[in-house]
Every structure is written in C-alpha cells, then in structure tokens.
Amino acid sequence: MTDKIPEFDSAGLLAIGDYEVTLAELRDSILVQGPRNRIEYPTWDASWRLWLVDHLEMMVRQLWLVGVDEIYIDGSFVEDKDHPNDIDGYFVCDLDRLESGELERDLNLLDPQKIWTWDHAMRKPYAGYPKAQLPMWHVYRVELYPHVAGFGCGITDENGYELEFPAAFRRSRRDGKPRGIVKLRQEVDHD
C-alpha cells in the first residue's frame, strides 16, 4: 500500500493537507484498500471504492484531454466511511471556457453518455436520496464541479459566508472539521 496518503486521524478524516497522487497510487492507498487496522474496519468495502475510482478515472481522463489538470477529490470518500455513496470533487478551469459552454461541449464530445452538465434542471431524483443528482452521478457515481477563482460554490461556512470550492471541500460535511484533500496528477510515461 502506498504511503502517499496517511491513515485517518482520530475523527476518521483524512489528515489536513493536500495529497497529490496518480490514479494508480490512489487505487493502492488507504482510501481504497482500507486502513491498516482492519479490526476497526471489518466492513470496509474496498471493491466498491475501487469501482468508484474506476469511474472517476473515466471522467478525469476526459478532463485531462481537454486541458484541465488541477483536479481534486474529497467528500466521504476521504473519510473513514466504509461504503461512501460517491466521490465528490472539483477542478480548476477558465471562466471564459466555462461561460461559453465550450468546456461542457468538449467534454461531452468525449463522453459516450454526455454526462457533463451542472445545470440544476438536469438533476434527477434517485431512490432513497434526499437531493436530486446530476447525470454524471447517475452514470458514474462521481460529481466533479468546475471552479473559477473568486466565485463561490453555494456552500457556506458556519457564519453563512459562501465559500469557494478549495475552502469548502477541505471541511467535513458531517461536523465541519478541517480535513485533507486529494489532488490527482497524471502518470508520466517513461518511454
């Protein structure tokens, strides 16, 4: 197992910090394989977490193909939840490309399911879930949101101030405690 991502802290969160890993390193990390102390996590669902990462990879490779290289993942996937519902994340992009629809168009040209949209009207309910989900969630169980510096994400802090994704995604939704985040980096081919 790779040591690039540390064990969970005492609150069950990824320790504060940014952990840069390749997809291969992510698959071999605690976030997929589980904590070293398996007695404390007898129902750790490594096969489900691996399935999520396989689907994440499809989306991440599409982002890389259109020139997006700053991609971060978090959510309950970076916590000690045995079976997280999904993987959440964000990526840094250019405002003009996002506003013009060019980014969404380019991504949908690559994806056979045409899942790339952040239009609230495209959200659909899913049995047993309190909120409707985006098409990407229904197909891949992954939600990746575009981030443009200086723009809020709709998530507020304890004082009601809207946060940007980099700040919002570094806090646990269950209790607001700070936690780490994972940055994905492309593997380098050594031909």
Torsion of the alpha carbons at 165, 14, 131 and 144, rounded to the nearest 10: 50
DSSP string of 13-67, one letter each residue = BBPSSEEEE-HHHHHTSHHHH--S-TTS-TT--HHHHHHHHHHHHHHHHHHHHTT
Strand partners, 8: 14
- pLDDT for res 190: 57
Whether the pLDDT of residue 150 is over 80: the answer is no
- pLDDT for res 153: 62
Whether the pLDDT of residue 170 is over 60: the answer is yes
Distance of CA 95 to the CA centre of its chain: 20
- pLDDT for res 3: 74
Distance CA 125, CA 7 (A): 34
- pLDDT for res 189: 66
- pLDDT for res 38: 76
Mean pLDDT to the nearest integer, 87-106: 96
Which range has highest mean pLDDT (38-47, 50-59, 152-161, 166-175)? 50-59
Whether the pLDDT of residue 130 is over 90: the answer is no
For the record, the structure tokens of 65 come out as 């193909």
| Confidence class for position 91, pLDDT limits 50, 70, 90 | very high
Whether the pLDDT of residue 121 is over 80: the answer is yes
